[in-house]
Amino acid sequence: MVENSEYKNKLISAEEAAKMVGSNNVIALGGSMSFAHAIDMHLAKRKNELQEVVVSTFIDVLPYEFLKEDPQCEVFKWMSGFVHLGCRAFSKEIGATIYLPNLYYDVPRITREVHGGKIDISYLVTTQMDEHGYFNFGITCSHMKALAESSKKVVVVVKKDMPWVNGGYDETIHISEVDYIVEDELPTPCLPFTLPSTEQDEMIAENIIEAKLIENGSTLQVGIGSLPDSVIKLLKEYDFKELGLHTEMIGDGTMELIEEGIITNSQKKIDKGKSVFTFTIGTRKLYDFINRNPSVATYPVEYTNDPFIISQQPKMFSLNQAAQIDLMGQVNSEQIGLLTPTCKLFQISGTGGQLDFVMGCLFSKDRKGKSVLALYSTYNGSSRILPILPQGSAVTVPRTMVQYVATEWGVAYLRGYSIRDRATALINIAHPDHRDWLIKEAQRVGIYPHNYTPPAGKPENVLVKRD
């Protein structure tokens, strides 16, 4: 048993913990649903006392107090590994300077090898301490242990309602590795299951199922949102069996597949019988479901998102969303380019695990891996399938690694096909109102020979087409 005296000696208030931050410090506040909000609230109040404080975050689901207090980042120099909904407005105002480009599976190594010893304080959200002196990182394993090992001081922010999640490794930290403890009475943040699916979501999901990209025994990676939830709904309706789960994020939809016996993990070669993930976003029901549940396992992201681990999963299926794709197959999922001469680059998300899973499927040992990049064909009436990506767009997935692309209008397969054949396939799954324009633009930029018109009918590398 760990003596209570050690715990008591390290116990401080959230206000005291925030006062530890000095000018020119580098601090990490966590991210996703494991962001240290109690510290954030007190830190924001200290804006006028500090200078040049680098604040590191990731998966910015909820808005931060330090950004509300300092939206221009004059004092708090925000650095994000993945901008999300809660902070996109701040990102749009500041520009892409706040983003730290990364492959998600590489983040623990980046933390240790590049930032090791340079982080003054990491505030890590955890469960309560167990009888052996361990705190569990709960719903966000990710790279939390790497942050602890790379920081001069470690403060754990303990939440009473944080679920204890069984893991493979690096899911806990011992009190001997902790400098200070804060007890946070704020509840662990939850998000509602999802927004209702749109007609576009349902069309894309139906196209994916019709293309037979998922089969019995497939291992799944799907995210959270109305499109993944539409696919999950169809997996129930079509009576899929013996599915596995190896993903970066588990949500309420995948929880339901486990509860209903559709996900069993019985066909997996590694982590057999376990649903594997690195972080969670969802409802309280989901948090209670994963609490000490032996059928799930959390790992650091260096394991869950390692392409060579992913490649060993049977019939690996990966679904991720994109913002834009050009006719050569270059995919942008994270940064809006210079749409006007005065427009700043706008970081809307990050590379995240998208490329990790694209590579994992591409390298699949059983040669049955399938990565799908899905996007709505239009946004505000404009085509998301473009002749070329706009200036300043990020290439999240290079054209050399793209397999399947899905829209409401069909599913195209790009790997191994020429630029001309790729363009023809993508035009076939573009919105019908934009197909003639795309043909003319393909001729103009040299993707098609001058005055070339693609033949009528469905190309061989279009699996599903709607008109």
- Give the active site residues: 248
Please check whether residue 45 is in contact with residue 69, taking contact to mean a CB–CB distance below 8 angstroms. Answer: yes
Whose CA is closest to 23, among 63, 74, 65, 64? 74
What is the distance between the alpha carbons of residues 198 and 216, in angstroms, rounded to a whole number? 26
Please check whether residue 327 is in contact with residue 418, taking contact to mean a CB–CB distance below 8 angstroms. Answer: no
**From residue 319, how far is each of 224, 357, 372, 436 by CA, in Å?**
10, 9, 5, 29
Handedness of CA 378, 379, 383, 385 (dihedral sign): negative
Whose CA is closest to 324, among 386, 273, 372? 386
Q: What residues have CB less than 8 Å from 249, skipping those under 6 apart?
A: 223, 224, 277, 278, 279, 280, 281
Q: Please name the residue ranges forming H helices in 211-337.
A: 226-237, 252-259, 284-290, 301-304, 307-310
Sheet strands (E) in 127-248: 134-136, 151-159, 172-174, 180-184, 219-221, 244-245
**From residue 165, how far is each of 135, 218, 290 by CA, in Å?**
11, 24, 6
What is the distance between the alpha carbons of residues 270 and 268, in angstroms, rounded to a whole number? 6
Tokens of 103: 């492959």
